[in-house]
Amino acid sequence: MSAQAGRQPDAEVHPGSAVHLGNPVTVDRYTAGARINHWITASCLVLLALSGLALFHPSLFFLTGLFGGGETTRILHPWIGVVLFVSFIGLFVRFWHLNLWRGADTTWIARLRKVLGNRDHEDPELVEIGKYNAGQKIVFWGMSILIIVLIASGFVIWDQYFSQYTNITQKRVAVLVHAIAAIIIICVWIVHVYAAIWVRGTIGAMTRGQVTGGWAWRHHRKWLKDLVTGRPSS
C-alpha cells in the first residue's frame, strides 16, 4: 500500500511522489517523465562540453573526432544547445517551486561544515530538509541562469542565422561571455555529479525513480513527513 501526498501550495512535495510500505519502505522521488527529461538535459550538457571544448582551443580540436570532424562539430554544437534549452525548460517547469529559498536553507548554508563533515544528523535543524537542500537549490538556480546566458550569447555568435542582427563588437563580447559561462557551468556540473556520488543512494533516485525510506529520513526528513501526512510540516 502507499501513502500518496496531497498537493498543497507550499508543500515540499510533487505530483507522483508516494511512500510505499514494505521491507524496506520505498519512496517515489522522480517520475519516469522527470527522469527522461533529466537525462536528456544531462546528455546535452556532456555533448556541449565536449564539442565546446573542441572549438575552444586548438589543443582540444581532436575532440571533434567524436562528432565527425570540425565542420560537423560546428554545425551540431548550437543545435544541441537549443535541445538543452528546451529540455531544461521542462525541468524548470517541473521543479522551480520546489527550489524556492526557505529559512531552513539559510541554516543549512550557515552550518555547511557539519554537512560536509557528515555530521548533519547531529543537528535536528539540518535534517528537517524538504525535497531539495540549499546546495541542490543553488545548483538548480545556477544552472538556470547559466543556460539562459549560454543560449543568449550563443545566438549572437550563431552567424549562420543571426549574423545580420549583430556587429563585430557584440560578437566579441558574446564569445567571451559564452566561454566564461561554459567554464562555470562545467564546474557546476562536476559539483552536481560529485555530490550525487558522494551521497549514497542519490543516483538510484534518478535511475530507478525511488529511494528508501531510510534515505529520505536521513537526508530529506521534512519532504518525507509531507508525503506521509499529505500536508506541509511546520
Backbone angles phi, psi at 67, to 5 degrees: -120, 10
16 by DSSP, 3-state: which?
Answer: coil
* Cα separation values, 38 from 10, 63, 99, 226, Å: 24, 25, 16, 24
Q: Is 192 a catalytic residue?
A: yes
Tell me the CB-side half-sphere exposure of residue 39, using CA atoms within 13 A: 12
Catalytic-labelled residue, pool 38, 77, 178, 192: 192
In the sheet that 2-4 helps form, which strands lie side by side, from edge to edge?
2-4, 18-20, 26-28, 210-212
CA distance 68 to 51: 11
Q: How buried is 156 (Cβ within 10 angstroms: 0-12 exposed, 13-18 middle, 19+ buried)?
A: buried
Q: Positive or negative, the Cα torsion across 3, 102, 120, 233?
A: negative
Q: Please give the C-alpha separations between residue 66 and each of 61, 69, 72, 162, 215, in angstroms, as whole numbers.
A: 10, 7, 10, 27, 38
Q: What are the residue numbers of the active site?
A: 192
